[in-house]
Amino acid sequence: MSKLDEVLNLAKIKGYFWPAYDVYGGSSGFYVLGPYGVILTNGITSLWRQLFVRPMGFLEIDAPSVTPYKVLKSSGHVDNFKDPMAECSNCHNKYRADNLLSEAGKEISESASPEAMQLALNDDHIRCPNCGFTNWVVKPFMTMFSTNIGPYENSEGFLRPETAQGIFVEFQRLLSLNRGKLPMGVSQAGRGFRNEISPRQSIIRLREFHMLEVELFIDPAAKVSVIRPSEKRLPILHEAILSAGRAEPDHLTLVEALDKGIVKNEWLGMFMQLSLELLCNLGVPVERQRFREKLKGERAHYSAQTFDHEVFIEEVGWLEVAGHAYRTDYDLKSHMKGSGQDMTVSVDLESPISVPKKKVNFRIDALKLRYPESWQGILAGGYRLDENGVLFNGTPIDRDVYTINETVEVVKVRKIIPHVVEPSFGLERLMLACMYFAYQKKDDRIVLSVPGGVIKRVAAVFPLLSKPELTLRAQEVRERLLKAGIDVIYDDSGSIGRRYARVDEAGVPIAITIDHQSLEDGTVTVRNRDTWEQVRKPEDQLVSFMESLSLY
């Protein structure tokens, strides 16, 4: 049994996650997060908040999943998530129809209908790369879930394929909540939906999953003073390495990566550094991590540069757990165009600049007399002003009909469309990576050594024996910890060893045991999940002791 299988098995037995809708035969691509899965993903989410949201004062919102057609039309998703799938009618292999055509040297518009593509493929006798057959059927495959909003027919909507769009469309209000300041970070933890053709490998490819995203809006021209969470070297498999056909990443500091132009944006680099930090905190060794640059053809339609943060898992290979994308001004531009709303931001200039301005004042009566045919066109703005005077359709206009007013305008702001830098995590994959590296065997027993800081403020409380005097006292300790905001798993069944084993598998960092001595002097034993060592502590110091532990 491979390690991954053992981890998945543990997940099944202990109820971290399992396939949903089992009683109806199941539905591929949907999973339930069980009680321990919720504890773990909550822990990961709050760690993400600690690293990616709080320190920079980013905002966090929770926007709807159901998204109107127009929003995703403007964002480009409607067109880009709809793949024309060409199926070979002989071997039934499927390909992107437009890829087949462009490989054969045939140009076809991306917006061509499936029928047109089918016709083009068959008329040109393009062969199936697999079997050589030349009969194609082309159908669109929509990888977004569509739905109707309300009872009306032309109110199509989709389940969001990313949480990001819910942030972009609220940009103006968010900016005013941020009192107009850039950079502005807005985060969102929520569900994303993608109608995958074939979901696979347990929770690695799901149709509904959890995302942790930040959209950082920046002024691309602004000087950046970026927080540097650490000076750990980033393992980067960048374009130059990839196109040279190599697979060994460069190990660069953030400064080096930026200086060499490998990472094109300082914020993007900072997020990569934070991402490395997050994964290290989840217990993934640095040497099992890398940032792989997405090449031009692999990138999403909105991206100017993307690095996938990947984790190496033996049985899977390099697994993408995050995408860090420099989205430029694509998103806001698209929504400005689509909605007709102004999403530009006025940025204060460091020092105001004076711009000399020349204004033409026409003497209307003279203009009408001199140019009876074209005066209306001239006044409508069809003229140009250069050092030689006013030109209309390239011909100088008689100087008698106008005067030039020279003024100086003081400009204090710049109008910009902010650029967006986005770190985006798949929560289920983070959980899997965390579990994979936390999974340990100790004396033939399973211990989920989830690093400190992930499962926080959770403790087990046990009476040493299931005797009333001990169980009652243990319940009191439980109450006390609950009141201090600590989640308690209480258990008095079976033997003490069995109970320790159960919480070890769940990754609960410490177990507190009440024995006879506790009844006499009010002390309890505190057992460490990883070392199984116990220390004796007074009951009333438990909370402060737990807070002092590195586990917390």
With CB under 7 A as the contact rule, the residue among 416, 464, 486, 489 that binds RNA is 464
Binding of RNA at residue 68 (CB under 7 A)? no
Binding of RNA at residue 13 (CB under 7 A)? yes
From 56-64, 166-174, 199-207, 264-272, span contacting RNA (CB under 7 A): 199-207
Subset of 362-401 contacting RNA (CB under 7 A)? none
Subset of 69-108 contacting RNA (CB under 7 A)? 77, 80-81, 83, 87, 91-96, 99
Q: Do 168 and 215 form a contact (C-beta atoms < 8 A)?
A: yes
Token pair of 354 as six digits:
């004076």
Q: Do 192 and 161 form a contact (C-beta atoms < 8 A)?
A: yes
Q: Find the shortest distance in angstroms from Cβ 131 to RNA.
A: 10
Token pair of 58 as six digits:
């980013």
Q: Find the shortest distance in angstroms from Cβ 537 to RNA.
A: 11
Subset of 472-501 contacting RNA (CB under 7 A)? 493-498, 500-501
Binding of RNA at residue 3 (CB under 7 A)? no
From 183-191, 351-359, 360-368, 463-471, span contacting RNA (CB under 7 A): 463-471
Q: Do 390 and 361 form a contact (C-beta atoms < 8 A)?
A: no
Q: Find the shortest distance in angstroms from Cβ 88 to RNA.
A: 9
Helix (H, G, I), strand (E, B) or coil at 58: coil
- Give the position of tokens 């773990």: 40
Distance CA(128)–CA(89), nearest Å, equals: 9
Distance CA(5)–CA(464), nearest Å, equals: 34
Binding of RNA at residue 201 (CB under 7 A)? yes
- Give the position of tokens 């057959």: 133
Gyration radius of the chain over CA positions:
31
Q: Find the shortest distance in angstroms from Cβ 5 to RNA.
A: 9
Query: Binding string to RNA for residues 511 to 550, with x set by CB under 7 A, is what?
Result: --x-xxx-------x-x----xxx----------------
Binding of RNA at residue 26 (CB under 7 A)? yes
Strand partners, 313: 317
Closest to RNA by CB, 217 vs 462, is: 462
Interacting residues of 176 by C-beta distance below 8 A, sequence separation 6+: none
Query: Binding string to RNA for residues 106 to 135, with x set by CB under 7 A, is what?
Result: ------------------------x-----
Closest to RNA by CB, 216 vs 470, is: 470
Q: Do 147 and 157 form a contact (C-beta atoms < 8 A)?
A: yes
Binding of RNA at residue 166 (CB under 7 A)? no
Token pair of 507 as six digits:
């990754």
Token pair of 44 as six digits:
């990961």
Closest to RNA by CB, 100 vs 174, is: 100
Distance CA(358)–CA(361), nearest Å, equals: 10
Q: What is the DSSP letter of 29?
A: T
Helix (H, G, I), strand (E, B) or coil at 442: strand
Q: Find the shortest distance in angstroms from Cβ 256 to RNA.
A: 29
Token pair of 232 as six digits:
């750990």
- Give the position of tokens 């109707």: 148
Count of residues of this chain found to bind RNA when the rule CB under 7 A is applied = 66
Sign of CA dihedral 228, 232, 233, 238: negative
Binding of RNA at residue 34 (CB under 7 A)? no
Closest to RNA by CB, 91 vs 364, is: 91
Q: Find the shortest distance in angstroms from Cβ 527 to RNA.
A: 5
Sequence-ordered strand ranges (E) for 28-135: 31-33, 59-60, 66-68, 82-88, 94-96
Residues contributing to the site for RNA (CB under 7 A)? 9, 12-13, 19, 25-29, 77, 80-81, 83, 87, 91-96, 99, 130, 143, 161-162, 194, 196-202, 205, 298-301, 315, 443, 445-446, 464-467, 493-498, 500-502, 504-505, 513, 515-517, 525, 527, 532-534
